[in-house]
Amino acid sequence: MTTDWSRALMHIDGDAFFASVYQAIHPSTKGKPLVIGRERGIATAISYEAKAYGVKRGMLMHEIKKLCPQCIIASSDYRLYEMFSQKMMDIIRSYTPYVERYSIDEAFADITDLKNTMCMDYSSIGKHIKKTIEISLGISVSVGIAPTKSLAKIGSSYQKPSGCITINDINKDIFLKNTKIENVWGIGWRTAPKMKTLGLESAYDFVHEQEKIITKLFNKPIVEIWHELQGNQIYQLNTAKKITYQSISKTHTVTPATMDKNILFVRLMEYIEDAFTKARRYDYQVGRMSIFLKTQQFRYYATEIRLPEKTQYPFLIRKDVRKGFDKIYHQHTLYRASGCTLYDLEKTTESQPMLFHATADIEEKLKHLYPLFEENKIKFGISLFDKRRDMRRKKFLFPTIKLDS
């Protein structure tokens, strides 16, 4: 079957993204075995240098040290990963507006029109964008270019790290033959064994099976993958940014784990502020919230807080949060994480004004105050930590603006 080259899609995938970001920020660790996940006690991300020693995701730290005593162990920093992700997406969008952010370290982009505007073939375009990302951010990415998402994913995975593969009619079978059926995007661990019993060991075997047999034996998603691997585009790019939410969650690991009540509460308030910042960005008011603490033994303590009035500003509900926190906090217990989820989200344009709004005056002041908070010009008691002094408590910082009427 002839591949349909009416569209050219590129898949960009960060190589060992979390570890690569850490190495970009800490150049002295480049080329060295590195594992992310100290705060969890297990490997959550691994550099290619660590993989060479046999280190795998999910390994305990003491197991990693036995395999690779010189391995660098670092903690996760999701805010940093998000920042690098956004910068990577910005670079891709500087070439084409047709970009789908698939995950924090992956994106699809339609580069069809760039062939004329950049006067390059698709392979050269991919290498050019890849080089720009790597030089700008100091991380490694792999690129796959093909007429469909499924083929582009095969291309980006084929020559990691830092590969750039273009799949076309001439070379397509080579890549399909060298791709195990379980490694095809969208074919899960339950489906792959069934395919293998039918003799479909590779993507090539799958593609060259008759369509009527595939249709008879498998469901629609598998049939769609079959068409994608033939070179016929089924999956379209979803370039729209998400603008509606049923809930908003923020959570993070506390490093190191602590039983200090003040540290835990201030960290929790920081995550709540982050969640409400996102809610305000999408013009939501919040009516209900849950908070949780996770112990070092991975036990969760949670409670729900129903807000007396829907609001966009955590400053107004700090007493309610404190009551909820006091319910779930237990003395002499070591905690490793905390977080919150916001529910009952309602657009401010859709909400009905209350007849007697007790906090109306304060809320009006907060409308002017919170933009300063988002620009880091003021703080609401979240600057509790001084890393240079081993997490000792500092004086709380509060805005000098008087809010209480």
pLDDT tens digits, one per residue of 201-225: 999 999 999 999 999 999 999 999 9
pLDDT of residue 139: 96
Question: How far apart (Å, rounded) are the C-alpha atoms in residues 299 and 320?
Answer: 23
Look at residue 377 and tell me if it is in a domain: yes
- Domain shared by 68 and 101, yes or no: no
What tens digit of pLDDT does each residue of 237-279 get?
988 766 667 788 888 877 788 999 999 998 899 899 889 988 9
What's the domain count of the chain?
3
Look at residue 68 and tell me if it is in a domain: yes
Strands 284-295 and 346-347: antiparallel
Residues labelled as active-site residues: 106
Question: How far apart (Å, rounded) are the C-alpha atoms in residues 339 and 96?
Answer: 36
Assess whether the previous peptide bond of 371 is cis (omega < 30° from 0): no
The residue that leads in pLDDT, 357 or 335, is 335
- Which two three-digit tokens encode residue 332? 């002499």
Q: Which amino acid is it at 123?
A: S
Percentage of residues in the chain having pLDDT higher than 70: 84
pLDDT of residue 245: 75
What tens digit of pLDDT does each residue of 162-181 get?
999 999 989 999 999 999 99
Q: Which residues contact 78 (CB under 8 A, 6 or more apart)?
A: 252
Look at residue 363 and tell me if it is in a domain: yes
User: Does residue 40 carry a pLDDT above 50?
Assistant: yes
What is the arithmetic mean of pLDDT over 378-397?
Answer: 41
Q: 310 lies in which domain range? A: 248-393
What is the arithmetic mean of pLDDT over 296-321?
Answer: 88
- Domain shared by 291 and 361, yes or no: yes
- Domain shared by 61 and 144, yes or no: no
User: Does residue 288 carry a pLDDT above 50?
Assistant: yes
Look at residue 281 and tell me if it is in a domain: yes
Domain boundary among 170, 201, 230: 230
pLDDT of residue 228: 96
- Domain shared by 215 and 88, yes or no: yes
The residue that leads in pLDDT, 367 or 204, is 204
- Domain shared by 306 and 384, yes or no: yes
User: 152-161, 309-318, 368-377: which has the highest mean pLDDT?
Assistant: 152-161
- Domain shared by 222 and 129, yes or no: yes
- Domain shared by 72 and 113, yes or no: no
Q: Is 209 helix (H, G, I), strand (E, B) or coil?
A: coil
